[in-house]
Amino acid sequence: MMDSTDDPLPQLTSYYPGQLLLASPALRDSNFMRSVIFITEHNTDGAHGFVLNMPMQMTAGHLLPETEDSDLANVPVFHGGPVATDKLTFARLQWNQDTMKFVFQSHLSTQEALESRQLGDDIRAFVGYSGWTEGQLDDELLATTWYIHKPESAIADQHAIPSLWTTLMSAKSPFHELMTHMPHRPELN
């Protein structure tokens, strides 16, 4: 006879490109603590994405001297994740009010980023990205390390970045809102 503790973990049956990952408050990895990640790709080979709420307090002009005298000089730089931190990726972010969808176009060339910025688009730069190998994110989702959340307009608002994780977690449910009040380091209390 098999009891519930012997049951294998259920298999993930969905993939979530275009969705958000909200870190569980129990996640202590400094790369992802209270992070909001936009998933750019998720399939049988693994997953990729970018952390949206970890600004690095610098601009593209600090990292790319050739942009110092251009419209890209003041583009904010974010910690995109722990993979390929020697790479800088430009992305265009936009909330489409008509379709109620979030547009995230990454891997823009410097010229494409400059042209988009001159058109008034929200351009951000990311150092590194977040990546998971085959089945790794699926296992983390099953272990509730992450919560899936549909993108909302707040993710395109740079003024919302400091409270983005709290805002989105609170929108999920009263239970999730309660979790936002957990201390960062409960073991110190």
Predicted local distance difference test score (pLDDT) of residue 96: 92
Q: Is 57 left (phi over 0), alpha (psi -120 to 50) or beta?
A: left
**Domain boundaries, given as residue ranges, for the chain:** 19-86+125-188
pLDDT for position 2: 35
Phi, psi of 14 (to 5 degrees): -130, 155
Token duo for residue 153: 């307009």
- The maximal CA–CA distance of the chain, rounded, in angstroms, is 71
- 135-186, pLDDT tens digit by residue? 999 999 999 999 999 999 999 998 999 999 999 999 999 989 998 987 766 5
Q: On the CB side of 96, how many CA atoms lie within 13 Å of its CA?
A: 8
pLDDT digits (tens, 9 = 90+) for 114-130: 999 999 999 999 999 99
Assigned token pair, 90:
């430009």
Computed over its alpha carbons, how large is the radius of gyration of the chain? Answer: 18
Residue 12 has pLDDT above 90, yes or no: no
For the cut 60, the answer to whether the pLDDT of residue 42 exceeds it is yes
User: With 60 as the cut, is the pLDDT of residue 10 above it?
Assistant: no
Scan for tokens 């909001």, then name that residue: 36
176-180: long-range pairs with CB below 8 Å, 24+: 176/147, 179/24, 179/25, 180/25
Instruction: Give the domain 19-86+125-188 fold.
Output: VC0467-like (3.40.1740)
pLDDT tens per residue, range 55-103: 999 999 999 999 888 999 999 999 999 999 999 999 999 999 999 999 9
